[in-house]
Amino acid sequence: MHGVKRTRQTADDIAAKKRREQSKIEEYLALTRDVLSRKKASDWSEDAFNLTTKLLQVNPEFYTVWNYRRNILLRGLFPQRTPEDVNNLLSEDLAMTMTALKAHPKVYWIWNHRRWCLENIPNGPGSQEDGDVAGWKKKCWDRELFVVEKMLDADPRNFHAWNYRRYVLAGMPVPRPETSELAYTKRKIEANFSNFSAWHQRSKVLTSLWSSDKLDKAKSREVEFELIRNAMYTDPDDQSVWMYHRWLIGSGDDQMLLEREISVIQELLDEQPDSKWCMESIVHYKLILIRNHSRSVDVGKLTGDCSTLLSQLQRLDPSRRRRYEEIAKNIDVGPR
Amino acid sequence: MEDGNFDVIIIGTGLTESITAAALSKAGFKVAHLDENPYYGGNEASLSLEELAQWACKHSSSSEPVARFTSVTRSADIPSYARQYSICLCPSVIPSIGPFISALVASGVSKYTGFRLLESAAVYDSSGTLKNVPGSKEDVFKNKDISLIEKRRLMRFLTFSAGDFEDTKELEGSQQLPFLQFLQEVFSLSEEISSVIAYSLAYCVSVDDATLPALQRLRRYMHSIGRYGPSPFLVGHYGGIGDIAQGFCRAAAVSGGVYILGRKILSVTPQDSSPSTDNSVHDTSLPGYTITLDDFPEPLTCKIIISSTSNIHPDLISDSQPTGAMQDVDLNTTSVARCIAIIDKPISFAAVPSTDDAEDIESNDESTESSRRASGRDMDTAVLVFPPSSLPRGSRTSAATVLLNGEGSLSAPKGKWILYIGLPVLSSTTVKPEDILRPYLDAVLTLAHDAEHPPKPLFTTFYMENPSRATQSPDVDSSSYLVVPQADISALPDRPDIMTEHAETVFQMAVRMLRRETSSAMGDGDVESSLKQDFWPPLPDDEAESQEW
């Protein structure tokens, strides 16, 4: 374990440790036997519930016991309880899993239990008439978003957290406007644009906004090109930037767009002649030009450009020599 | 205090002297530390507003022509809550990596006080606006004032400056070239960006600053980014350096050092050195000194005295103690014109972000506190640099720095801010500090939120800080009066590190002298190996753990 000093132990110490561990092991086994036998006997009592709490504290990866716990809630504790009581029980379980997560942040079963709790929050405290039917839900889901944001502050590149964020955003009773999610990705990108997940999320949000016409696609895309160009020039070695650029170019149907971006990248290459990503992207886009717009471009010149760049790439990036050779070979095959 | 006999007596509780005192005490030597002032910190002290006013009065009536502080003036009124201010005579920012931080951690003194990360750094543009300083990849990416090509060149330069540039072909032959010229010729950077790099990233002080030292400074600051946050610099609580000097004194006292403040030193006399019995060339017994203090019963004796030049007692200046050549104040030396002002309106030191379509499309989710802070309002701890020729009535050859300290640095009460302005000038200048610095103060005040009615400071003081005279440490064998080198005019972040290095030099010298004497008395043959001493002893275990960061 990290940060724990290894101390010298005498033979006596080791023996004493083994004895202490032995009693712990026996305790654990007894507890397990107890819980599982109750489960088999369909014991949905509060006693059983408390025993699962104890067991899961020691071993949160015992997913059978998580299942059992959920069944106790559904079949034993929820029936004949007011919605308010149900909400309180679920809130307590959310708090309990929060504590468990601090000690075991990567255990999937704890996250699953959280999702289950969120999804089972009852309607209330108000009713359909007074408009606060989703009051409890709003509170819990808002807090969940806060938890995810704290995680992403600590590690903005944790793709599990980004995935969970998408789950939370989708499940919120009052959905956040997508434009605020766009602003969130912008903040994360500005903090450090070497972040595939943030760019990826941005692309998903933009796709949704464009297809629902909430955002003018042409204008917005220009803004994105401006943004990505700044990233490109600031750090041409950052792969996530080039991936996003590829997504922006899309299918390559727009010849003017392709040619414009190629010249932007060429300017960067002139300034930074050893940038392998510039070369590779120019090759990639010129090949698209050849493929999609063969009638309106100088195929011969473009092919020549690509061959030259590919041989430069072989020298610059020898670990991928074979890949560049392969691409070069396929150009000569000609447009389909 | 049992007896007045010490290994070392240190006169003056400035930062260098205080670090030395702590190190010597922790190394087991008997130390007495004296200061004629009733407060700690000497020329780097952190003072309350009342103390600062008294200090200003005392120094404005000083008649010494080559005193450290001259031409001191101050405004008449003293604002309320005077005791809640901690104003430092040596305003500094502390690089996150360097000798000073290491000394703070290794000595345990970092526990005695807190620190605040510098929130923003800006540079004054000749158009009268502020621009953000692009010191990191993120800053460069977000910056709206730099063209794409220039961003690439700037990043290329920043990467170069953070690496091992000593033997590169870019640097070949250019080490002594003016830094501005180097940036424009070798890295094809524009005049504007070069100025920003030189003055607000590398903290050059003049247009002539050479390339190699500037690059070395810049590299240290670049490496300091990220240790505690996005800025390379920390600002100390309770007035910064002065409070930290007091912390080192406390550490010395905890290890047995004796402190006597506020007593005038009446005399300092060398004792006759005892003749060696066998007339050997290596007579290592130290001459020693006796010091008498005003209103103090016993005289104090010691083997070594340590002090700065400004604290050398008149009795000894005429003595034959070789404390280094006393230079006349050279016509070409540099002083620093300083201003301390207190204001009660916040000032934004961040450039106002230009709005464009992108900002309109994305809803401003200002719900997080950090985005509110980043938008430039409510700045608490920040630096603003005025490059040469950026201000119409300002200097054409030197850069001015402005350090802002608000309540977050625990140096000012709520709703009040301290402004420190510093500008290197020729020592020979006859222009008053107030006349030199007024344009800068006025420019800063118009940056307050209400530009139509710039705030009037509640208190101001202007003064000149002059370099010290002698700079050499004495020859070890013939004197046991060690003179602390002065950290004079240097880049804003450098003084604490320079002072720490000086402290270590003096510490090692003192240890060598003291050990040599002890071991020769005991007939110890192998002397040299035992003479080197770790600057700080290892911290006890529970202390060490709390230093984890």
DSSP 3-state assignment of B362?
coil
**What is the reported pLDDT for B486?**
77
Which tens digits make up the pLDDT trace of B265-303? 888 888 765 444 444 444 456 778 888 888 888 899 999
**Fold that domain B1-45+238-275+283-319+470-548 belongs to in CATH:** FAD/NAD(P)-binding domain (3.50.50)
How far, in Å, CA of B444 to CA of B448, rounded? 7
**What is the reported pLDDT for B2?**
59
Task: Please indicate, yes or no, if residue A287 is contained in any of the structural domains.
Answer: yes
What's the pLDDT band for B329 if we cut at 50, 70, 90?
Answer: very low
Mutation target vs B (from A233, A270, A274; most B CBs, 10 A cutoff): A233
Q: Is the dihedral of CA B46, B47, B53, B54 positive or negative?
A: negative
Give the start-end residues of each E strand in B186-319: 233-236, 258-261, 265-270, 289-293, 300-308
**What is the reported pLDDT for B451?**
64
Has domain B136-224 been given CATH number 3.30.1340.30? no
β-sheet bridge partners, residue B87: B47
Over 80: is that where the pLDDT of A291 sits?
yes
Using CA atoms of A275, A277, A281, A287 in order, give the dihedral in degrees to the nearest 10. Answer: 90
Selecting from B138, B152, B362 the residue whose C-beta is nearest the C-beta of A233 gives: B152
What's the pLDDT band for A237 if we cut at 50, 70, 90?
Answer: very high
User: Which of chain B's residues have a Cβ under 8 Å away from the Cβ of A192?
Assistant: 137-138
CB A242 within 8 A of CB A281: yes
A10: closest CA of chain B, how far (Å): 22
How far, in Å, CA of A201 to CA of B382, rounded? 34
Which tens digits make up the pLDDT trace of B192-222? 999 999 999 999 999 999 999 999 999 999 9
- Assigned token pair, A96: 């309990």
Task: Please indicate, yes or no, if residue A123 is contained in any of the structural domains.
Answer: no
What's the pLDDT band for B374 if we cut at 50, 70, 90?
Answer: very low
**What is the reported pLDDT for B482?**
83
How far, in Å, CA of B223 to CA of B226, rounded? 8
User: Which of chain A's residues have a Cβ under 8 Å away from the Cβ of B140?
Assistant: 234
Task: Please indicate, yes or no, if residue A2 is contained in any of the structural domains.
Answer: no
Mutation target vs A (from B138, B362, B372; most A CBs, 10 A cutoff): B362
CB B485 within 8 A of CB B307: no
Which tens digits make up the pLDDT trace of A297-306? 899 999 999 9
Over 60: is that where the pLDDT of B358 sits?
no
B119: closest CA of chain A, how far (Å): 15
User: Which of chain A's residues have a Cβ under 8 Å away from the Cβ of B358?
Assistant: 186, 223, 226-227
Number of domains in chain A: 1
How far, in Å, CA of A217 to CA of A213, rounded? 8
Report the CATH number that the domain containing residue A263 is assigned in CATH: 1.25.40
User: Which of chain A's residues have a Cβ under 8 Å away from the Cβ of B373?
Assistant: none
Over 70: is that where the pLDDT of A84 sits?
yes
Which CATH architecture best describes the domain B49-84+114-133+229-236+334-355+376-466? 2-Layer Sandwich (3.30)
Q: Are strands B459-465 and B400-405 parallel, antiparallel or unpaired?
A: unpaired
Q: Residue A9's CB: how many other CB atoms inside 10 A?
A: 11
User: Which of chain A's residues have a Cβ under 8 Å away from the Cβ of B155?
Assistant: 233-235
β-sheet bridge partners, residue B267: B292
Which tens digits make up the pLDDT trace of B457-505? 999 999 998 887 654 444 434 467 888 877 777 788 999 999 999 999 9
Proportion of chain A above pLDDT 70, given as a percent: 97
DSSP 3-state assignment of B14?
coil
**What is the reported pLDDT for A20?**
84
**Would you kindly state where each structural domain of chain B is located, as residue ranges?**
1-45+238-275+283-319+470-548, 49-84+114-133+229-236+334-355+376-466, 136-224
Element (H, E) at B335: strand B334-343
**What is the reported pLDDT for B52?**
92
Over 60: is that where the pLDDT of B231 sits?
yes
Cβ pairs A/B, distance under 8 A: 62
How far, in Å, CA of B135 to CA of B162, rounded? 11
Please state, rounded to an integer, the average pLDDT across all residues of chain B.
Answer: 82
**What is the reported pLDDT for A54?**
93
The residue segments making up the domain with residue A327 are 254-336
Give the least confident one: A16-20, A41-45, A73-77, B52-56. Answer: A16-20
Selecting from A180, A182, A272 the residue whose C-beta is nearest the C-beta of B152 gives: A272
β-sheet bridge partners, residue B32: B9, B258
**What is the reported pLDDT for B528?**
45
Measured CA distances, B84 to B50, B74, B80, B408, B476 (Å): 10, 19, 9, 13, 45
CB B56 within 8 A of CB B461: yes
Task: Please indicate, yes or no, if residue A66 is contained in any of the structural domains.
Answer: no
Interface confidence, given as ipTM, is 0.80
Task: Please indicate, yes or no, if residue A309 is contained in any of the structural domains.
Answer: yes
